[in-house]
Amino acid sequence: MIQLSLLDLSIAALLVIALAFTSARIYPGLARQLLVAALRTAIQLTLIGLILKALFANANLLWVALMAMVMLAVAGREVMARQHRRFAGRWGYGIGAVSMFISSFTVALFALIVVIGNDPWYQPQYAIPLLGMLLGNTMNGISLALDRLTQSAWEMRETIEARLILGHRAEDAVSDIRRQVFRSGLIPIINAMAAAGIVSLPGMMTGQILAGAEPTEAVKYQILIMFLISAGAGFGTLAAVHLGVRRLFDERQRLRLDRLQRQV
């Protein structure tokens, strides 16, 4: 495998810097976010590389579980941070985190124990990358779904309240919104699966091929990952929408938009 130097990475970083300076004229705030995100990427991936090196050398269930909890905690925060209108208080964080825990951890355990069957099942070489891919894609779907849910509820509040006055249950009053929200949450993974192998070569498959793996074996792993991601993203989005809709209404079936806060 060809080793990359710091100079190689610096040259690639120049592309991001050029994009930031170009976009500064159109949207100055977005340029700053882009540079901060690029810096975070470099720092976080460097740190995780060092942590994983130590973790791989000492495969302990406790350390693997701790790493997984940290990943979940950060993912829950990122889901909340990207929403235009989010649920106030602990609910803003809890809905996304709980939904990802239910879906991603369940799917990851199923894959590790039933499908891959490595011994021990919590081997960090398999568990951490697999959970990371599941959390990352589930996070995207849940973030899009919750953002669409809260924004649609705010924009259609008069229509929803009119339906409630006419005797509709809370779930029926937002049934059309729920369908659109669920669709929005699954669009990224559906696009990724539809384009895989024709428009794009997915990241895990590309990485294995660059590392010298047989293309046919890399394809098998990529198909497995795509199926697992679609299940995790789908079930996670379903759970997040369900919890979000319940939070939008109180026990008397009243729309409670005061439970939302707008991101400053």
Q: What is the DSSP secondary-structure string of 153-181? A: HHHTHHHHHHHHHTT--HHHHTHHHHHHH
User: What whole-number distance in Å separates Cα of residue 123 and Cα of residue 121?
Assistant: 6
Q: Are residues 140 and 26 in the same domain?
A: no
* Domain edge (last residue) among 57, 86, 104: 57
Q: Are residues 46 and 156 in the same domain?
A: no
User: What whole-number distance in Å separates Cα of residue 142 and Cα of residue 149?
Assistant: 10
Peptide bond into 124 cis (omega under 30): no
Q: Are residues 161 and 247 in the same domain?
A: yes
How many structural domains is the chain composed of? 2
Q: Are residues 150 and 178 in the same domain?
A: yes
Q: Are residues 112 and 34 in the same domain?
A: no
Average of per-residue pLDDT across 13-32? 84
What confidence tens digit (pLDDT) does each residue in 126-144 have? 888 888 888 888 888 888 8
Question: Residue 43 — pLDDT band, cuts 50, 70, 90?
Answer: very high
Between the alpha carbon of residue 24 and those of residues 19, 21, 245, the distances in Å are 8, 5, 38
Residue 218 has pLDDT above 70, yes or no: yes
pTM above 0.85? no
**Residue 86 pairs with which residues in a beta bridge?**
261
Q: Are residues 49 and 68 in the same domain?
A: no
**Average pLDDT score, the chain:** 85
User: What whole-number distance in Å separates Cα of residue 158 and Cα of residue 164?
Assistant: 10
Average of per-residue pLDDT across 108-115? 89
Burial class (CB in 10 A: 0-12, 13-18, 19+), 35: middle
Q: Are residues 158 and 81 in the same domain?
A: yes
Long-range contacts of 222-226 (CB under 8 A, 24+ apart): 222/196, 224/111, 224/115, 225/130, 225/133, 226/189, 226/192, 226/193, 226/196, 226/202
Q: How far apart are the first and last CA of the chain?
A: 46
What share of the chain in percent tops pLDDT 70? 97
**Residue 87 pairs with which residues in a beta bridge?**
260
Q: How far is CA 229 from the centre of its chain?
A: 10
User: Taking phi first (over 0 means left), then psi (-120 to 50 degrees means alpha), and beta for anything else, what does residue 235 get?
Assistant: alpha
Q: Are residues 51 and 98 in the same domain?
A: no
Q: Are residues 116 and 236 in the same domain?
A: yes
For the chain, where are the E strands, in sequence order?
Answer: 85-87, 260-262
* Domain edge (last residue) among 30, 57, 84: 57
Residue 79 has pLDDT above 80, yes or no: yes
What confidence tens digit (pLDDT) does each residue in 224-256 have? 888 888 898 889 999 999 998 888 898 888 888
Q: Are residues 115 and 243 in the same domain?
A: yes
Q: Which residues of 21-32 are buried (b: 16+ CB within 10 A; e: fewer)?
A: eebeeeeeeebe
Q: Are residues 106 and 20 in the same domain?
A: no
Residue 263 pLDDT: 64
User: Poorest-confidence range of 1-5, 19-23, 157-161, 258-262?
Assistant: 1-5
What confidence tens digit (pLDDT) does each residue in 169-185 have? 888 888 888 888 888 88
Q: Are residues 51 and 64 in the same domain?
A: no
Domain that holds residue 31: 1-57
What confidence tens digit (pLDDT) does each residue in 144-158 have? 888 888 888 888 888
**Residue 255 pairs with which residues in a beta bridge?**
249
40's enclosing H/E stretch is helix 28-57
Question: Residue 210 — pLDDT band, cuts 50, 70, 90?
Answer: confident
